Structure formats: structure tokens, C-alpha cells
């Protein structure tokens, strides 16, 4: 694979529900690397803000909470369909991170430069150790600009909404496709248009459209890419 040259870190970016985390996990397992889904960190910071009863519009207070939030990502501690366990200040918040209130506020919280600076600092510490697949919105552009392999994973908004609805259905949650599509479009817009570290492909990223390809096919293709 990779013509024998294995990249020490792989950066994967892309919009909501594009399949980037699934692909990242398959790649990480294949290489024996750690997977860091950076969206979890922004979600945990957002939950910390909501739990503290702070208005997410209040940038100064949000900043303070995000900076002091202790976020720990561990291997799954329960067999309930989770891929990992996330502790926020010591409390298991794995499922709460996917709640609607977090979905609706995360892009606002993630747009504040001070929140990003703190999360990027934490992400680089992990990236510096190598053997990592890091997934997010600004990994190839800002967090790990020297990553030897950068992927930008996309799919049509309709396909992404369908995937998100199917994922939730597996968890016993029924969502209307139109609502999910509206949330995805709104987050795409907020993430792409924000001033700091907007969602975009790095110039040297390999673009991968997963609309018509399942994750195994995509990963097989990635492993043939020259580095
Ligand atoms: O899984 P999904 O794509 O829905 O979202 P996520 O990857 O968990 O990320 C949630 C939100 O966090 C995104 O919509 C972005 O606003 C923000 N985020 C970011 O700004 N930068 C990252 N590196 C990762 C996520």
C-alpha cells in the first residue's frame, strides 16, 4: 500500500456526514494508527457551554469554558454501539455529544478563534506523536499543514442526510430527512463561510467523492495513492 511509503500522519477533512470518520477509522485500523475525530472536541466544548448554562453567543464566557474543559477520548467502555467513550470533566458524555442541542450550537462555538486555538493546540500535541489519522474540517489546512497525505472527502448533501438518518435509525432515533438535510446545509454554510479556518480542501489534498462508493471501496482506492 501507498507504494511502500506509509505516511506518518493522515489528515482527513470534509463536510458533515461525508463518511470521513468511517473512512478514517478503517484506515487507522488498517495501519494500526490512532484515530482522532476532532469534531468530538468541538462537540464536547459545546456541551460544556450548554451544561454550564452559558449562552453560546457569549464569546468571552464560551472561551473560558472551552479552555478549561477537560476532554478525554478513551476506547469504548460499554458495548452499546459506541466507537469510543468521551469523558467531559470526568463524566461519560459519549451519546450526549450527538444530541440535537449540540448539533445546533456546535458550529457557532467552533467558529470562535480562541476556542479553535485551544483545540488546535491539543490536536497538534497528539499529531506530533505520529501514527495518527486525524479527521475534521481544518486538519490539512491549519492543524497539520505538513501532513504527507491529505484527503478531502465529500458527498452530495442529500446522500449525507440519508446516511445521517440511517445512522440515527440504528440508534433507535427517528429523524425526518428534511430536518437533517436542513441542519447539514446550515452547518455546511456556517463551517465554510466562517472567518477563521473555514472548511475547505488544502491545495495538496486528494479529493474523494463518496456519493456512489461504499467505505471499503474508498479505502482500497486511498491505499493505492502515491505519497
Ligand atoms: O459528524 P459531523 O460531520 O456531523 O460533525 P463533526 O465532525 O462531529 O463536527 C461537528 C462540528 O464541529 C462541525 O460542524 C464544525 O462546526 C466543527 N468542527 C470544526 O470546526 N473543526 C474541526 N476540525 C472539526 C469539527
Of 108, 130, 152, which residue sits at a domain end?
Answer: 130
In a domain, 226, yes or no: yes
147 and 175 share one domain? yes
120 and 143 share one domain? no
Helical H runs in the chain?
20-31, 39-51, 59-68, 100-109, 113-127, 157-170, 177-193, 215-222
d(CA 22, CA 215): 7
Query: Does ligand 1 lie within 6 Å of residue 109's CB atom?
Result: no
Domain count, the chain: 2
Neighbouring C-alpha atoms within 13 Å toward the C-beta of 93: 25
Residue 45's domain comprises: 34-130
Which of 14, 18, 36, 42 has most ligand 1 atoms within 8 Å of CB, for mutation?
A: 42
98 and 172 share one domain? no
Query: Does ligand 1 lie within 6 Å of residue 112's CB atom?
Result: no
C-alpha of residue 3 to centroid of ligand 1, in Å: 32
In a domain, 40, yes or no: yes
40 and 97 share one domain? yes
117 and 38 share one domain? yes
Query: Does ligand 1 lie within 6 Å of residue 13's CB atom?
Result: no
Query: Does ligand 1 lie within 6 Å of residue 123's CB atom?
Result: no
Using CB atoms within 10 Å of the CB of residue 8, give its burial: 0 to 12 exposed, 13 to 18 middle, 19+ buried. middle
In a domain, 27, yes or no: no
d(CA 89, CA 77): 16
Query: Does ligand 1 lie within 6 Å of residue 107's CB atom?
Result: yes
Count of other CB atoms within 10 angstroms of residue 129: 10
- Tens of pLDDT along the chain (227 residues) come to 787 889 999 999 999 999 999 999 999 999 999 999 999 999 999 999 999 999 999 999 999 999 999 999 999 999 998 889 999 999 999 999 999 899 999 999 999 999 999 999 999 999 999 999 999 999 999 999 999 999 999 999 999 999 999 999 988 999 999 999 999 999 899 999 999 999 999 999 999 999 999 999 999 999 999 88
Whether 40 and 86 have beta carbons less than 8 Å apart is answered as: yes
Count of other CB atoms within 10 angstroms of residue 20: 28
Of 106, 130, 154, which residue sits at a domain end?
Answer: 130
In a domain, 118, yes or no: yes
Query: Does ligand 1 lie within 6 Å of residue 198's CB atom?
Result: no
Among residues 39, 28, 15, 25, which one has the least CA distance to residue 207?
A: 15
* pLDDT in the model for residue 58: 98
Of 112, 130, 148, which residue sits at a domain end?
Answer: 130
* pLDDT in the model for residue 1: 79
**59-68 and 113-127 helices cross at what angle (nearest 10)?**
20
In a domain, 93, yes or no: yes
* pLDDT in the model for residue 3: 78
In a domain, 25, yes or no: no
C-alpha of residue 43 to centroid of ligand 1, in Å: 7
* Protein residue with its CA nearest to atom 25 in ligand 1: 39
116 and 196 share one domain? no
Residue owning grid cell 458495548: 79
* pLDDT in the model for residue 45: 98
In a domain, 124, yes or no: yes
Count of other CB atoms within 10 angstroms of residue 152: 23
d(CA 191, CA 199): 5
226 and 163 share one domain? yes
Residue 46 Cα: closest atom of ligand 1: 12
φ, ψ of residue 128 in degrees (nearest 5)? -60, -25
* pLDDT in the model for residue 171: 86
70 and 149 share one domain? no
142 and 122 share one domain? no
126 and 171 share one domain? no
C-alpha of residue 4 to centroid of ligand 1, in Å: 32
**Which CATH number is 207's domain given?**
3.40.50.300
145 and 121 share one domain? no
Sheet with 132-136: list strands edge to edge.
Answer: 34-37, 132-136, 9-13, 149-154, 206-209
* pLDDT in the model for residue 81: 85
Residue 16 Cα: closest atom of ligand 1: 3
In a domain, 209, yes or no: yes
86 and 6 share one domain? no
Amino acid at each position: 500500500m501507498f507504494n511502500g511509503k506509509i505516511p506518518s500522519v493522515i489528515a482527513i477533512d470534509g463536510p458533515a456526514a461525508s463518511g470521513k470518520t468511517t473512512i478514517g477509522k478503517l484506515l487507522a485500523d488498517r495501519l494500526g494508527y490512532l484515530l482522532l475525530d476532532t469534531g468530538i472536541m468541538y462537540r464536547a466544548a459545546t456541551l460544556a457551554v450548554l451544561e454550564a448554562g452559558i449562552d453560546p453567543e457569549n464569546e468571552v464566557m464560551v472561551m473560558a469554558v472551552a479552555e478549561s474543559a477537560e476532554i478525554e477520548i478513551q476506547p469504548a467502555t460499554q458495548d452499546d454501539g459506541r466507537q469510543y467513550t468521551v469523558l467531559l470533566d470526568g463524566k461519560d458524555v459519549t451519546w450526549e455529544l450527538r444530541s440535537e442541542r449540540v448539533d445546533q450550537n456546535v458550529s457557532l462555538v467552533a467558529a470562535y478563534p480562541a476556542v479553535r486555538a485551544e483545540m488546535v493546540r491539543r490536536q497538534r500535541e497528539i499529531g506530533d506523536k505520529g501514527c495518527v489519522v486525524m479527521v475534521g474540517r481544518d486538519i490539512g489546512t491549519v492543524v497539520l499543514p505538513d501532513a504527507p497525505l491529505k484527503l478531502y472527502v465529500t458527498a452530495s448533501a442529500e446522500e449525507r442526510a440519508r446516511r445521517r438518518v440511517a445512522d440515527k435509525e440504528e440508534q433507535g432515533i427517528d429523524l425526518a430527512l428534511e430536518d437533517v438535510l436542513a441542519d447539514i446545509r446550515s452547518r455546511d454554510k456556517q463551517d465554510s463561510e466562517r472567518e477563521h479556518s473555514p472548511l475547505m480542501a488544502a491545495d495538496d489534498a486528494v479529493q474523494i467523492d463518496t456519493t456512489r462508493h461504499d467505505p471499503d471501496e474508498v479505502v482500497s482506492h486511498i491505499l493505492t495513492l502515491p505519497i
